[in-house]
Amino acid sequence: MNVRSHVAMMFHLDKCIGCHTCSIACKNIWTDRKGTEYMWWNNVETKPGTGYPTKWEDQSKYSGGWEVKDDKLKLKSTDKHKVITNIFHHPNQPSMDDYYEPWTYDYQNLFNAPEGPDQPTARPISMVTGKPMNVEAGPNWDDDLGGSPIYAANDPNLKNLTEEQKLQLFSVEQLVFFYFPRICNHCMNPSCVAACPSGALYKRGEDGIVLLDQKRCRGWRFCVPACPYKKVYYNWSTGKSEKCILCYPRLETGQAPACFHSCVGRIRYFGELLYDADKIEAMAKLPDEELINAQREMILDPFDPHVISEARRNGIPDDVIEYAQKSPVYKFVKVWKMALPPHIEFRTFPMLFYVPPMAPVMAMRKDDKLTSVSDNLFHDIEDARVPLQFLGNLFGAGQTGKVVYALKKQKAVRTYRRAVTVGDIDMATAEQMLREADCSVAEAEEIYKLTSLCTFEERFVIPPMHREMAMEGTTDPMFRKQEAGFGFMAGPKRSV
């Protein structure tokens, strides 16, 4: 057993209102520089939709993630033998057309335009060329099903859906959508790291954050197609790739990442997981439908004395182990089994998990009348407005079993709380539902509290990063403290 500590995340999709506050918080801090305008380390997608960049989930286009060939785990896009053929021109490289050309507006024209018969306008100006341009795409171009079904019909998750199910998603006055906020998953088995020819991308040993060393990056760009989530972006101005850094400077000072901190829906949870790094390769070779269980197995029980002693033997400090025991992500992922990894069939083992949305629509319009789809107060999971197969393609590697389990538990907890607070549901019925959903009353109370009443501290359980201890091996922390904040920083300029 090789116990490592890993920061992990959970997004509760049933709470996301799609306000994009997270995206703006991130953009204002990290990606408003030249060459990064088009980068959205955090973005919020509407599902069904094609996402950002367009059709990122379609690996026949981008070749991201891993595949098992001859019982070996290989990168889909650029495994080692393909380095020579792909280095001058990578066939799966996304271009600006797959994102959008960033622009601003010529606001000065509103003030300076000469007097004339028409209102002056602020024309869009390209932030690449500085010339006027026609806006043909943008971030969240298909937000809230805008342009649907032109864009949303291309969603790769619609495969295996019956025509009836598609109709369920798209027909007017029946259509349904939900939001899907995405950041870098800081995967256990990151394909971007494995694909980097320069060794510039790396995983921090102490906490698992995936970072990109700008000084070692040579701009070969294999990371961009290799990441199946398209969360490594190429800076066209500096010629280097950039990605979400999980706000590690904030984490190291005990603050949640900016996108977490600013989330108004309080959908984001941050906590630590202990996992067994020795198992990754064997687990990643398992068939698609076994991958979710495999990842849950790799995540270790932080209360198990054997795990604790192995963690100590690996140099994980006691207070970090203590934080692993308090982790809300551990509860949602491993104990309650309500949070699922996105597209685990890409085999990178994402460390960002999602509680699937219930999309609680109880009635729909039929012949000018609102009709309830179910006799129950909360609709049956099988009748969900979002077809289960769609959620299964997104969160269950094509299978619906794990999604149904998570949704049934959510519904049972709601029914139970309805029985407690309103009382129009019989408590015996509610408890029966809980039993069917594999949930005890105590567990239901805990899920309810952590879902609805959670405080800042309960959502963001940030382990001590111990950078001062990590530093001791190379330099005296007191000396480092004295020189921190003083010195010279060179701008990201390319010329000699």
Partner 1 sequence: MTTLNQFLNVILFMALPYVVAVTFLLVSIYRYRTQPFTYSSLSSQFLENKSHFWALVPFHYGIILVLAGHFLAFFIPRGVLAWNSVPLRLYALEITGLALGVMTIVGLIAGLVRRFTTPQLRMVTSPLDWTLYGLLVTQVLTGIGVAVMYPWGSSWFAATMTPYLWSIVKFSPDTSYVAGLPWLVKAHILNAYVLLWVWPFTRLAHVLVVPNPYLWRRTQVVRWNSVTETKAR
Summarize as ranges the residues that interact with partner 1 (CB under 8 A).
2, 80, 83, 87-90, 93-97, 101, 128-131, 189-190, 193-194, 196-199, 201-206, 214-221, 234, 236-240, 314-315, 467, 469-474, 490, 492-496
- For residue 293 the two structure tokens come to 């269980």
Q: How far apart are CA 311 and CA 287, in angstroms?
A: 29
Q: Nearest distance from residue 79's CB to partner 1, in Å?
A: 10
Q: Nearest distance from residue 80's CB to partner 1, in Å?
A: 6
User: 270 has which bridge partners?
Assistant: 9, 460
Q: Nearest distance from residue 483's CB to partner 1, in Å?
A: 17
CA angle 297, 286, 276 (to 5 degrees): 30
Q: Nearest distance from residue 157's CB to partner 1, in Å?
A: 26
In terms of CB distance, is 97 or 144 closer to partner 1?
Answer: 97
CA angle 330, 306, 301 (to 5 degrees): 10
Q: DSSP letter string over 422-463?
A: T--S-HHHHHHHHHHTT--HHHHHHHHHHHHS--HHHHB---
Which residues are CB-neighbours of 220 under 8 A, at least 6 positions away?
Answer: 87, 196, 197, 198
Half-sphere exposure at residue 150, Cβ-oriented, CA atoms within 13 angstroms: 5
Q: Nearest distance from residue 285's CB to partner 1, in Å?
A: 13
Other Cβ atoms within 10 Å of 84 Cβ, number: 8
Q: Strand, coil or helix: what is 402?
A: helix
Taking phi first (over 0 means left), then psi (-120 to 50 degrees means alpha), and beta for anything else, what does residue 423 get? left
In terms of CB distance, is 183 or 196 closer to partner 1?
Answer: 196
Q: Nearest distance from residue 28's CB to partner 1, in Å?
A: 24
In terms of CB distance, is 311 or 439 closer to partner 1?
Answer: 311
Q: DSSP letter string over 32-70?
A: -STT-TT--SSEEEEESS-TTTTTTT-HHHH--SEEEET
In terms of CB distance, is 369 or 494 closer to partner 1?
Answer: 494
Taking phi first (over 0 means left), then psi (-120 to 50 degrees means alpha), and beta for anything else, what does residue 65 get? left
In terms of CB distance, is 236 or 448 closer to partner 1?
Answer: 236
Q: Nearest distance from residue 331's CB to partner 1, in Å?
A: 27
In terms of CB distance, is 199 or 401 closer to partner 1?
Answer: 199
Which residues are CB-neighbours of 40 under 8 A, at least 6 positions away?
Answer: 23, 26, 27, 31, 52, 139
In terms of CB distance, is 44 or 211 closer to partner 1?
Answer: 211
Q: Nearest distance from residue 95's CB to partner 1, in Å?
A: 4
What's the length of the chain?
496
Q: Nearest distance from residue 154's CB to partner 1, in Å?
A: 19
